[in-house]
Amino acid sequence: MSPRNSSSISHVTEDQFFQDFDPMNCGRITVSQFRRGLDRVGINAIDRLYLSEPEIDMILQVYRDPNDSSRMCWKTFEDDIDQGMQGHMSVR
């Protein structure tokens, strides 16, 4: 993922694109909801987030719930993006 995409995806935590799909706040949503959340990041980001299908598949592999393959761990994804951006910003 390029730095430009990382910058765009950092907006995930600001607007909580995945939270709408998780009213019980359990940290897990369906695969289709996760994909829609990624799409919402791209639509609402200042810099449009472009992910290829192989990049999306890789994200889906990494953040799939190990106990339920029909669910995605969106909070873990969001936390990892937050930590990555904090590290990126501290380098500057």
6-41 tens-digit pLDDT: 444 544 444 578 989 999 999 999 999 999 988 887
Fold of 3-91: Recoverin; domain 1 (1.10.238)
pLDDT of 83 above 50 = yes
The residue type of 73 is: C
Rounded-to-integer distance, Cα 50 and Cα 43, Å: 10
Residue 60: Cβ-neighbour burial (10 angstroms; 0-12, 13-18, 19+) = middle
Rounded-to-integer distance, Cα 25 and Cα 9, Å: 21
pLDDT of residue 64: 98
Count of alpha carbons within 13 Å of 19, Cβ hemisphere only? 8
pLDDT of residue 17: 82
Average pLDDT, the chain: 78
